[in-house]
Amino acid sequence: MISGTGPKRILAIDGGGSKTIAWIANALPSEDISKVVLEVIGRGHAGPSNPRSVGFDTAFLNLRTAIAMAREQATATSPCGVPQPFAVACLSLAGAGRIDEQNRIREWAEREQLSFQTIVVDDVEPLRLAAQYEKEIAQNTAATSWEQSVTLVVGTGTIACGRNGENRFARAGGWGYLLGDEGSGFAIGLAGLQAVCKSLDRGDEATPFQMALLKAIGINTPTELVGFIYQNPLPRAQVAALSEIVIGYVGSDAIAATILEESIQEMVDLIITTASRLEFGHLSYALALSGGIVCNHPSIVADLLRRLGRSQLAPATHHVVREPIHGPLLMAARW
């Protein structure tokens, strides 16, 4: 909903498994995304705020830290130093996709007297708005319909979701590293380590690619991998970081090239599954992409788009989101 016609003070949060970003802005709202005016006046950051991975207590602590830093920049307090509630706050958090999680976060925001109106969503839903804003506003390109869209996130994990013109929702992936996350940074890094194990089983000499993987995680021989991988908790971030080594060796190592090729196809399959469930078929759709794997490697995006074209499901437009927080910022501004 759009409330009032003048600028309002809003708060946006983008929280994940590694960091939390908070932005405060003055916003002139509009139903038309091209007419939303945003003046960012405060930015803050802190550690992770995914309640599933770090727990609610740690998530709330990092939310407070990021918000306090942003408020300090924005001087969002009364003359006596008491923080003033925002008109609208949008908290977009990984691990907040279920109703019970959202209710608990909303209750925390109410206790904190954070805002007059509070929106709590997962970290995927707002990316479509972020993509549309960055492509059409920040890049000053011609407007393109994002009414029908698919969003693909490829970071430590993977997930795709989409909406059609009738506001019907579909998703694929997002099952986590034990049940899914195909094509993710974790899956790519793990495939690299599995290749090391298979090479040792065959009695092959370790390649420069394999030695680079071992060096990156601080071990000298493949036999030390068991102790590394079966730590508690599982070193997910370290394994996911190995994806950069896999990608870096694609041009010189056949195994690395195969791992990446199969991973890109997994990404394509997530998009195709989502688009097919929404019955896009010959209908055009927009594609939003986010996450370190696609943000840092344009060649992967280009390959992905080529494969979608060969499958007769190429998007009408696409955009790689650089600032995911634009999504919750726009949701708050348009509320």
Question: Is the pLDDT at 143 greater than 60, yes or no?
Answer: no
The whole domain housing 187 covers: 145-315
Same domain, 55 and 107: yes
Task: Specify the pLDDT at position 31.
Answer: 63
User: How far is residue 287's CA from residue 290's CA, in Å, rounded to a whole number?
Assistant: 10
Q: How many distinct structural domains can be found in the chain?
A: 2
pLDDT band at 144 (very low <50, low <70, confident <90, very high): low
For residue 168, give the CATH number of its domain: 3.30.420.40
- The whole-model pTM stands at 0.85
Same domain, 114 and 155: no
Is residue 158 domain-resident? yes
Q: Is 57 left (phi over 0), alpha (psi -120 to 50) or beta?
A: alpha
Whether residue 79 is preceded by a cis peptide bond, meaning omega within 30 degrees of 0, is no
As a whole number, mean pLDDT of residues 114-133 equals 92
Same domain, 234 and 330: no
User: How far is residue 168's CA from residue 130's CA, in Å, rounded to a whole number?
Assistant: 20
User: How far is residue 332's CA from residue 335's CA, in Å, rounded to a whole number?
Assistant: 5
Strand-pair category, 169-173 with 158-163: antiparallel
Task: Specify the pLDDT at position 265.
Answer: 97
The number of residues making up the chain comes to: 335
Question: Is the pLDDT at 88 greater than 70, yes or no?
Answer: yes
Is residue 133 domain-resident? no
pLDDT band at 133 (very low <50, low <70, confident <90, very high): confident
Q: Which two tokens stand for residue 155?
A: 């970071």
Structure confidence by residue, pLDDT tens digits, 46-78: 998 988 878 899 999 999 999 999 999 987 555
Is residue 137 domain-resident? no
HSE at residue 155, side-chain half, CA atoms within 13 A, is 17
Task: Specify the pLDDT at position 298.
Answer: 95
Structure confidence by residue, pLDDT tens digits, 160-201: 999 988 889 999 998 888 888 899 999 999 999 999 999 999
Same domain, 153 and 109: no
